[in-house]
């Protein structure tokens, strides 16, 4: 799989880019804090699909609780994949890169988040933010969050999510958070699709040559090895630069301020 930090940064980049274009009727952010919150949720959701295996870094985001959860998701994903496999799909003993790496999962997760927020309001917003901010922090922290680091991650995520109680609008949150989750999950799948293993994004509804769980992936000479030189030297740094640039650009008034600073006034 692509490394957690790369997934998180790619989700944040997509979140920042889309937040500026998303209509307010779809829950598009209307302020800088909302934009960064949208991007942060997208970053966390870009790690969420890997909660289908206890071997992933993100499965340790919330300590024993998330590890147990990951084990349960793994079992459900394995059963679902084997129950819906085609004639030429081999039976699987593990659920990683199956159910949670599909378009259906991304859509249902986003709809579920929106339904929670619509039904329960601000308390649900805080819960959603706590969970996805925790995933984002865990992915970005990498080795720094190993072992007991999940305690720090949980505390920081709790503080950040609680701070939104007074300013995050319920109406925007009801749709916008769901959209951010869908974007994050899809971004994760795109990241995994450029690796050698690929992802069964359209499974199990679009069969191909007798298989329902066929993987979308690049030709072998174009695919990358997770954690390999391309990711560490080009993809990771490239995402970092894009993230920093977009973080500056989306701040209210920043584009005009940069223009005024670097373009001399007309005589």
Contact 113, 177 (CB under 8 A): yes
| pLDDT value at 214 more than 90 | yes
- Note whether residue 172 is domain-resident: yes
The count of domains in the chain is 1
The boundaries of the domain holding residue 26 are: 4-262
What does the alpha-carbon distance between residue 43 and residue 55 come to, in Å, rounded to a whole number? Answer: 20
pLDDT for the residue 230: 74
Contact 48, 188 (CB under 8 A): yes
Burial class (CB in 10 A: 0-12, 13-18, 19+), 262: exposed
- Note whether residue 10 is domain-resident: yes
What is the SS3 assignment for 176?
helix
- Note whether residue 184 is domain-resident: yes
- Note whether residue 213 is domain-resident: yes
- Note whether residue 267 is domain-resident: no
pLDDT tens digit string along 108-158?
999 999 999 888 888 888 899 999 998 988 887 766 556 667 888 888 888
Helices (H), 60-148: 64-84, 103-120, 122-141
- Note whether residue 246 is domain-resident: yes
């Amino acid at each position: 799989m692509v490394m957690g930090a790369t997934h998180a940064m790619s989700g944040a980049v997509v979140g920042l880019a889309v937040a500026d274009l998303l209509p307010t009727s779809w829950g598009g952010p209307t302020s800088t804090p909302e934009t960064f919150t949208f991007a942060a949720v997208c970053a966390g959701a870009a790690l969420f699909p890997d909660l289908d295996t206890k071997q992933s870094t993100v499965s340790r985001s919330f300590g024993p609780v998330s590890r147990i959860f990951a084990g349960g998701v793994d079992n459900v994903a394995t059963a679902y994949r084997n129950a819906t496999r085609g004639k030429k799909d081999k039976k699987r003993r593990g659920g990683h890169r199956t159910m949670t790496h599909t378009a259906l999962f991304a859509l249902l997760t986003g709809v579920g988040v929106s339904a929670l927020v619509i039904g329960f309001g601000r308390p649900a917003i805080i819960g959603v933010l706590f969970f996805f901010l925790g995933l984002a922090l865990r992915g970005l922290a990498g080795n720094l969050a190993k072992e007991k680091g999940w305690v720090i991650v949980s505390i920081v995520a709790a503080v950040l999510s609680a701070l939104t109680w007074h300013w995050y609008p319920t109406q925007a949150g009801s749709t916008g958070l769901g959209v951010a989750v869908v974007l994050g999950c899809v971004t994760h799948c795109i990241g995994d699709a450029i690796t050698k293993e690929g992802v069964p994004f359209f499974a199990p509804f679009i069969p191909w040559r007798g298989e329902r769980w066929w993987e979308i992936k690049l030709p072998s000479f174009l695919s990358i090895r997770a954690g390999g030189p391309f990711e560490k030297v080009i993809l990771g740094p490239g995402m970092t630069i894009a993230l920093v640039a977009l973080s500056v650009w989306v701040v209210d008034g920043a584009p005009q301020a940069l223009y005024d600073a670097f373009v001399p006034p007309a005589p």
